[in-house]
Amino acid sequence: MVVFGLLAFALAAPRGSPADGGPVVTPLAIVETTPVPHEGDSADDPAIWVHPTDPGKSLILGTDKQGGLISYGMDGRQVQIVSDGARPNNVDVVYDFPLGAGRADLAVAGCRDSKSLGLKVWRIDAETRRLGDVTAGGFIPVFGHSEPYGSCVYHSRKSGKFYAFVNNKNGAQEQYELTAAGDTIAGTKVRAFKLKSITEGTVCDDEAGALYVAEERVGIWRFSAEPDGGSAGKLIAKVGEHGLAADVEGLTLYCAAGGKGYLIASSQGNNTFKVYAREGDNGFVCTIDPRGGAIDDVSDTDGIAVTNRPTSTAFPKGFLIVQDGSKKGGHQNFKLYRWEDIAGDRLWIDTSEDPRRR
């Protein structure tokens, strides 16, 4: 295990500066999940839920867009499939939502089954590590009862309110305030705006009050995440620059203290991940191009998620999880990389920032 760790570290060292992709880091996957139950393009987007008291009991959530929402232990083994048939596409996690007499951790996903075209919300029980559907009315309709595509959550530092963002293949964006309705959760539309073409990957920076949206063939936009944030965005990364290759897919945020950290994007067209600064003008930092080893390499990459927090002993300094669009001889799955194997001495390694206090 020690030898393997050293090898992974050596391979993760930056290899120089290819003309357009900057420094490239080449980590090896340490863990992969059980393949999703459905064939073809099924696994889409992961999220990470960090257990409040016992980090080793954290869960990985993954969508099967032909089936349901799947949870996995930190060893990658499947724990549960919930809402099978709802066809969740993108999933995100929010902590400490006021529900009933206490606080609840929630998973939120945009779903594409004809009977639940909208957002669904699940409560994550820390005691049992089980997810249960808590959506008022079964689902929160979006886009006038039509199909969502990407989605994410936002916990405003400014107001303390919780929101979900959802978008569709026409580039339309909607923001919903999430509120408790007894023991369930309801959504009220508070904002709508539109980009010019297909969007999916999206993530919010709670601290900065920012919403990032990937316009798949164009680049990454930054907007205000507040409901009065208007419709004017800034294109912070363009397809074609620094090797960002369409489709731009999943987005995720690595949060270090003091507003520092990284915005990471799935560059599906060349099976890599582009790292940008979280702060300032989101300057380009480096490229992550995983390699195949004992666990196969990733391709046609889609959704991604990262945490700065320690979870199991295999991941003491956080990890990046990515969808793998092609698993030879099997169904799609998700692969996990140690953050320190990605960071090397180039990127921040900061486990201090707690998402429960964001």
Residues that bind Ca ion (CB under 5 A): 44, 200, 289-290, 296-297, 302, 324, 326
Q: How many CB atoms neighbour CB 322 within 10 A? A: 27
Closest separation in Å from C-beta 298 to Ca ion: 5
Smallest separation (angstroms) from Ca ion to the CB of 288:
9
| Identity of the residue, 44 or 350, whose beta carbon is nearer to Ca ion in the bound complex | 44
Structure-block tokens of residue 93? 């996690």
123 touches 132 (CB < 8 A):
yes
- For Ca ion, which is the closer residue by CB, 289 or 350? 289
Q: How far apart are CA 329 and CA 201, in angstroms?
A: 28
Residue 40 DSSP symbol: S
Listed as own residue / partner, the contacts of 141-145 with beta carbons closer than 8 Å and 24 or more positions apart are: 141/117, 142/110, 142/117, 142/118, 142/166, 142/174, 142/176, 143/168, 143/172, 143/174, 145/117, 145/118
Alpha-carbon gap, residue 19 to 43, rounded angstroms:
32
Q: H or E stretch including 47?
A: strand 43-49
302 or 353, CB closer to Ca ion? Answer: 302
Nearest distance from residue 26's CB to Ca ion, in Å? 7
Nearest approach, Cβ of residue 152 and Ca ion (Å)? 12
Residue with Cβ nearer Ca ion (254 or 273): 273
Closest approach of Ca ion to the CB of residue 64, in Å: 12
Rank residues 169 and 358 by Cβ distance to Ca ion and give the closer one: 169
Please state the closest distance from residue 50 (CB atom) to Ca ion, in A: 23
| Dist CA 196 CA 215 (whole Å) | 8
Which is nearer to Ca ion, 99 or 286 (by Cβ)? 286
